[in-house]
Chains A and B, each alone.
Chain A
Amino acid sequence: MTTATRAGQAPAALEDKEMLISGSEAIAEALTLADIDVVTAYPIRPYDTVMQAIAKKIANGQLVAEYIVAEGEHSQFEIVKHASTVGARVFCGSSGVGWAYAMECLVVTPALRVPMVAMVGNRALDDPGAFGVEHNDALFVRDLGWLLCWIDSSQEALDTTLIAYRVAEDRRIFLPIAISADGAFLTHSQAITKVPSKSLVDKFLPPYNRGDLQLHPDNPITVAPQVNEDWVIEIRRQNNAATERAYTVIEEAYADFRKVFGRGPENPWFEEYMTEDAEIILIGMGTISLPLKVAIRNMRAQGKKVGLVRLRWFRPFPTEKLVAALSKAKAIGVIDRDYSFGSPFGSGVVANEIRAAMYNADRRPPLLSFICGLGGREVMLEDVYQVTDLCFNAAKTGKSETKTRWLGVRE
C-alpha cells in the first residue's frame, strides 16, 4: 500500500514473493490464497481480466474451486448468493452495465446477509458504450448495505481482497463487499506486488462459518419469505446495525493484517498524503490519487501547502475521522469521478456526501466540487493546478462555491 510503513522487520516480509501483476491478477492471487470455493463469471471489460486470471489459476492447478460461467450477470450473482448460503466462500464481479444487469441480485444480497466479495472493474455506464472508468456503477449499491471500497494499487488490491473476506465473513457483519478497481489504470496495469505465503494468510483469515444461517439438511431453515409491513422495518434495522458494527470490525481486521503481514495502513478508512500542514486538501477515490500526488509534489516545490485525502472506504462512510481530517484545512476540493445529475449543486456523489458529513462540524472550511476524468479520461496535472488555485481563492474569501466545475472538458 502506498503509505505502508514497515514497523520493524516483520517475519512476514521474508516470506513475501514479488510478482509483476495487474490489479486484477493481484485479486486472483488473493483469491487463491483465500482458497475460495465457488466463483461465477460472465465477461465484460475490465472485470473480465480477473475472471481470466482465476480461470488460469484453476487450470494450472493452483486453486481448486467451482468455476461457473453464467449466461449473464443476473445469474452470475444469483449463483454465488446461493452458494454462500450453503457455506461456500464465493467471489464474483462485473463492470458498468453488467453490474447494473445484476441489480436485482445485488439488492437482495445484503438483506440476506450474504458475505460475498465482488470486484467492480469501474466502467462508464452505457450509452455511449465505453470501457473507461467512472464510479457510478459501484455507487448504484451505496444505500443497500453493501460495503464499498476503492483501491489504487495492485498491492492494495491483493491486501484489500484478503481483508474483505475477513470483514464480510465476520459473524457480526455477514454483508457483501465490493472492491472497486478503476478500469485500465488498475485492472490493466501491472506493478510489482508482494504476494504473501498461504501459511500467513491462514493465520489472518479463518474459515467461513455461516453457523445458524447455513442452509443444510441438519439446519432446516427458510430464507427470504414474503412478509408484510409488520416485518420489513425490523429487517432494515438489523442491516443498519450490521453496517454500524462494520466500523469496529474493519479497524480490527486492518490491525490484525498489520500484525500478521507487517504492512498495511494505520488508518483503514482513507490515505492522508502531505496533509499535516496542508492549507488545501484535495479529495478523491481510486487511481485519481496518482496524478493528484504528482501535482501536489510539484506544488509543494513551489511552496504551496497542498495535501490529499484518498478515500478508501465509502461504505461505511468514515464520517467522524474524515471530518476531523478535513476540518484542519483552509479549503477543500472534492474531485468526483462520477456524476449525479440534478443533485444539490449538480455535484458528484462524494462531494455531496462530504457536504452532509461536514454539516454539523464545528469548523467547516469552504468546499469546492469538481467532476473530472469521466469515461476514463486522464486527469491532467493542469486540471489539478486549476483545482488548487480555485481552492486557494476560496481559502482567502472563506466562502464555498455552490457551482460544480467540470474539468478536462472541451469547451
Chain B
Amino acid sequence: MAHLICEVVYRGIFQKNLASRITRGIVLSARKAGKWGIAFGRYGDSPQRNGIPAKDFAIVADTKEELEQHMARYEPKELHVTICVDDTLCKGVESWAWYGLQPINRLLLPNGHLLVTSTQPAEALLKDTHKKDAPYSLWILPGKASFSGLWVYKEDHTEARVLGALAKIAPQVLSIDAVAAAIKEAEWGSDLKGDSARKAYERIQGRAVKITEGNPEVPYSFTMPKWWEMREGVSIPAIPIGKPKEGGKGYVPERNPYFKKFSSRTMRPVIDFETCVKCTLCWIQCPDSCFDVMPDMTYDANMEACCGCGVCEAVCPVENCITMVNEAAFEDNLSQWEMWRKDKAAYRTWLEAKIRDKVHTVRSHGFRYRGQYEEELAAGEWETGGVPVTAGIPGENADKKHLA
C-alpha cells in the first residue's frame, strides 16, 4: 500500500472534534515515517448541526506526487478504511452533502476495513450494515459512541484508541510507535493516552465479512436531474399537504421523499399508546413534524421522519408514555402503532423490554444532567461503554411526571 485513504464517519457537533483529532492523528503519525498527508472534512456536510452524519478524511502517501492524485476532491472515490465512531451510523448515512442513504461501507475497496466503536457484537452490527458485493473486514473497538459538544471535548481516549487500532489494521503506514509518538506530541496528548493506544492495538480483532452477510435492504437513492430537466428560477415544488390516516380519520402529512433525515437519529421514542392522554403536545412540539395522527387520536412517531431529538419525551406529561431508547436496539423503521393495533399484548412485552433495558437507554445528545460527564470519566470503563445512566430524563418537568 503506497498510500492509505481513511474516512471517519461521525455525528455533527457531538463528534466533530473527535473526527478531526483522528484524521489529523493519522497524518501526523504517518509523517513520523516520512510520509505526506492531508486531512479534510466533507465540505458540503453540516458538522455544526446536531447529529447530522458527516465525514472527515485522512490521506497519506509515500510521495507528494502520489498524494496530489487525491487532492482537490470533496470526497475520495474509494477508501481503504472507514472508521465509524457511532455504531448507529451502520444503518446508513444521509447528509447535507449528498442524496439518498449511503451504506456505511459504500466506498470501501475490496478487502478494505470497517472499524466501528461499539458495545454490540459483530452479528448485531451486520444486521444494520448493508450487504457489500466485495469482502471486507469488520473491526470492533469496544466502547460507546463518544459524544461531546461543539466547544468541549470528552477526554475518554477514543481518538487514541482508534489510532492504536488503526496501527494494527494498516501497519505498513502507521506503526504503533509512530502513533504513540504522534499522540504524545499532540496538544491533547499524554503518556496515558499513548498507553490507551497501545492497549487498543494489542486487543483489537478483525473479522472477515462475506458478501452474503449484511442487511439486504436496498437503500433509497436519488437520481440527479439534468440541467434542462430542472425547474427554472431555482424553484422546487413544495411538499403536498397530507391525508387522513384511514376512513377519513387521523392525519398523515406528506414528507420530503428525497431527504429523510432519520439517519441523524441516535435515539428513538418508544410510545405507550395505552397511557397516552391525547394531549397533542408531542405532535405540536416535534420540530420535524414526525408524528402522524392515528384514527384513535393517538400519535405515532414516523421513523422515516424522526431525528431523535427527544423533545417529545421531554414534553410528554405521562410517565413512561414516551421513552427515548438507543437506536441500536431497533432493526427497522416500522410503525409502532400498527404493531400495537395488531397484537396489544405482544406490543406491551416488546415495549417493556425496550424501556427496561437500561443498556439501551444509555444514550443521549450530550448529557442529561449536571455532573454526568465527571461521573462517566471517573468510572474509566471505556471498554464497557462507561457508566449506565439510569437517572435523569430530559426536560425541566422530569420530576413532575406523575399523573394523579
**Contact string against A for B residues 74-86, beta-carbon threshold 8 Å, 1 for contact and 0 otherwise:** 1000000000000
Q: Is A230 a contact of B224 with CB atoms below 8 Å?
A: yes
Give the size category of B's interface with A: 20 to 34
Chain B residues within 8 Å of A238, by CB: 227-228, 230, 232
Question: Is there contact, CB below 8 Å, between B226 and A223?
Answer: no
Q: Contacts A228-B44, A230-B224 known; A113 to B232 CB distance under 8 Å? A: yes
Q: Which of B96, B99, B228, B233 contacts A223 (CB 8 A)?
A: B233
**Which residues on the B side are within 8 Å of A213 (C-beta)?**
231-233, 235
Q: Are A223 and B237 in contact (CB under 8 A)?
A: no
| A274: interface (CB < 8 Å) | no
Q: Is the CB of A221 within 8 A of B44?
A: no
**Residue A222 lies at the interface, judged by CB distance under 8 Å to chain B:** yes
Q: Is B218 an interface residue (CB 8 A)?
A: no
Q: Which of A331-380 contact B (CB under 8 A)?
A: none
Residue B238 CB within 8 A of the other chain? yes
Per-position contact with B for A200-239: 1 when CB-CB < 8 Å, else 0? 0000000000001100000011111100111101110110
1/0 per residue B184-208: CB within 8 Å of A? 0000000000000000000000000
The CA-CA distance from A377 to B314 in the complex, in Å, is 71
| A235, B237: Cβ atoms closer than 8 Å | no
Residues in A neighbouring B235, C-beta threshold 8 A = 112, 213, 221-224
Q: Which of A222, A224, A237 contacts B227 (CB 8 A)?
A: A237
Complex CA gap A191/B92 in Å reads: 71
Rounded to whole angstroms, the CA-CA distance of A222 and B96 in the bound complex is 18
Q: Is the CB of B227 within 8 A of A234?
A: yes
Report the minimum CB–CB distance from A239 to chain B (whole Å). 9
Neighbouring B residues of A112 by C-beta, 8 Å: 233-235
Asked whether, in the complex, the Cβ of B236 is within 8 Å of the Cβ of A222, the reply is yes
At the interface, yes or no: B97 with Cβ under 8 Å from chain A?
yes
Q: Report B-chain residues with C-beta under 8 Å of the C-beta of A225.
A: 234, 236
By CB atoms of chain A within 10 A, which of B44, B96, B228, B234 has the most? B234
The docked-state distance in angstroms from the alpha carbon of A221 to that of B227 is: 18
**Residue A111 interfacial (CB < 8 Å):** yes
Residues of A within 8 A of B233 (CB): 85, 111-114, 174, 213, 223
Total residues of chain A contacting the partner, CB 8 A: 25
Query: Contacts A229-B44, A230-B224, A234-B226 given: A174-B234 contact, CB under 8 Å?
Result: no
B227 to chain A, nearest CB (A): 4
Chain B residue with Cβ nearest A113: B233
Cα A235 to Cα B226 with chains together (Å)? 10
Chain B residue numbers with a CB within 8 Å of A237 are 227
* Contact pick for A220, options B74, B228, B232, B237, CB 8 Å: B237
Interchain CA distance A225-B96 in the complex, whole Å = 12
| A224, B228: Cα distance in complex, Å | 18
User: A89-118 CB contact bits vs B (8 Å, 1 = yes)?
Assistant: 000000000000000000000011110000
Give chain A nearest CB distance to B255 CB in angstroms: 14
The CA of A230 and the CA of B224, in the complex, are separated in Å by 8
**Considering the chains assembled together, what is the distance between the CA atoms of A220 and B238 in angstroms?**
5
Chain B contacts with A in 128-167, Cβ cutoff 8 A? none
For residue A121, give the distance in angstroms from its CB to the closest CB of chain B: 28
A231 to B97, CA, bound (A): 11
Centre residue among B224, B227, B230, B233 by max chain A CB count within 10 A? B233
Using A228-B96, A229-B44, A238-B227 as known contacts, say yes or no to A174 and B236 having CB atoms under 8 A apart: no
Which chain B residues lie closer than 8 Å to A223 at the CB level? 233-235
A245 to B228 alpha-carbon distance, docked (Å): 14
Give the residues in chain A near B230, CB-CB below 8 Å: 231, 234-235, 238
**Which of A111, A230, A233 lies in contact with B234, CB distance below 8 A?**
A111
A-chain residues with CB within 8 Å of residue B226 when the two chains form the complex: 234
- B240 and chain A: residue at smallest CB distance: A220
Report A375 CB to chain B, min CB distance, Å. Answer: 38
Which residue on chain B has the smallest CB distance to residue A114? B233
Cβ distance B86 to chain A, nearest Cβ, rounded Å: 23
A positions within 8 Å CB-CB of B: 85, 111-114, 174, 212-213, 220-225, 228-231, 233-235, 237-238, 241-242
22 A-B pairs (CB sep. < 8 Å): A111-B234, A112-B233, A112-B235, A114-B233, A212-B231, A213-B233, A213-B235, A220-B237, A221-B235, A221-B237, A221-B238, A222-B235, A222-B236, A224-B235, A225-B236, A229-B44, A230-B224, A234-B227, A235-B227, A235-B230, A237-B227, A241-B228
> Which residues of B approach A to under 8 Å, CB–CB?
43-44, 74, 96-99, 224-228, 230-238, 240
